[in-house]
Structure 1
Amino acid sequence: MEQSRMNSPMMSLPEVGQSLQALGKALFGSAEKNALPARTLFLAYLRVSQINGDSVCVDLHSRNALAAGETAERLLVVSAWRETSNFTDAERAALALSESMTRLHDLTDPVPDKVYEEAAHYYDEGALATLITGIATANLYNRINVTTKQRVDVSAARN
């Protein structure tokens, strides 16, 4: 397995890592306050991390989703969510928003009104703000991990 380019910047910059961890805790607190299921947030984080090729976050969010009560069957098909009936309409809206916010470079209108309005249909302003900020945060972590080639060793993580 290829080595990381450097230690995680979160280790080199502990004050930044602590701030981002506090942001993550605040997002889950906000999710609870705004009736956004933690499982939905984990699904969004997982989809963003799959798109960005961040093995560390794919592993982390899969494990956290399982701990939050998500099923392995649903996690296995997140990347093909459009082709399965395993997700609610609200979850589909969150996954579509996750993809649009992550693939900003692919389209001239990267987050089309239809995608945004569908998410706004299922999530009130507080829940939607939490979801949008969470998706942006997942993208931030992914960009750090992908740039520095952070790797997860699943066999080591289970020992």
Structure 2
Amino acid sequence: MSPTTEAAEGPLYLDKAVPEIYAELADTSKQIRAAADAAGLSESLLELINLRVSQINGCAYCLDVHSKKALRLGEDPRRLAVLQTWQETALFDDAESAALELAEVVTRLPAPAVREEVEDAARRVLGDEAYAVVAWAAVMMNSFNRLSIVSHHPVR
């Protein structure tokens, strides 16, 4: 494969350029949803995680997609409006708070001592199975954010 010397016009959508890899990501996302269901985690909570991770990463495309989905699932618009500052409200229960904090740690990757403190607390609240699903959901959303940001996916 030789490099192209001509500048391409418009964005290169990675999901379209190599659809086989994108299909694997989409399949992994489906597996995470199934594991969440088995662990007793709601689809609405997964959407809150997707939104919070997308807020941190600044992915407009994913924020658009997942806010619409959260609303379709019946999520309270008030909770969506304050999600960026969820810690300053009483609108999220202990499990939701643990999941959101874990998703933030997975996304930001703070110092090991901070990570371990949050991870330990999240495991106590969520249990190992739900903890693992939340961590996988955050990892996957970070991947989708980067895919959309690098591809310049538009918000239409």
User: Which of the two has higher C-alpha Rg?
Assistant: 2
Match of 1:100 among 97, 101, 105: 105
Q: CA deviation digits over 1:33-79, x for unaligned, max 9?
A: 11112111111110000010101111111111112221111111100
TM-score (norm 1): 0.85
Change (3 A) 1:78 1:110: farther
Q: 1:78 to 1:19 in 2, by over 3 A?
A: same
Equivalent residue of 1:112, what SS? helix
The separation in 1 between residues aligned to 2:57 and 2:82, in whole angstroms, is: 17
Deviation at 1:125, TM superposition (A): 1.8
State, as a whole percentage, how many aligned pairs show the same letter. Answer: 34
Instruction: Provide the rounded CA distance (Å) in 2 between the counterparts of 1:129 and 1:95.
Output: 13
**Equivalent residues in 2 for 1:45-124, closer than 5 Å:** 45-104=50-109, 107-109=110-112, 112-124=115-127
Shift of 1:148: 2.9
RMSD of aligned residue pairs (Cα, Å): 1.7
* Residue 29 of structure 1 pairs with residue 34 of structure 2: yes
Residue aligning to 1:19: 24
Q: Find the aligned partners of 1:142 and 1:98 in 2 and give their Cα distance.
A: 13
Give the C-alpha shift of residue 146 in structure 1.
Answer: 1.7
Q: 1:5 deviation in Å?
A: 5.4
Structure 1 stretches lacking a partner, 5+ long: 154-159
Is 2:144 the counterpart of 1:141? yes
Residues 1:26 and 1:86: Cα distance change in structure 2 (over 3 Å):
same
* Paired amino acid for 2:147: I
Measure, in 2, the Cα distance between the counterparts of 1:126 and 1:15. Answer: 29
Aligned length: 148
- Residues 1:91 and 1:76: Cα distance change in structure 2 (over 3 Å): same
Unaligned runs of 5+ in 2: 1-8
C-alpha contact (below 8 Å) 1:94/1:119 kept by paired residues: yes
Shift of 1:141: 1.1
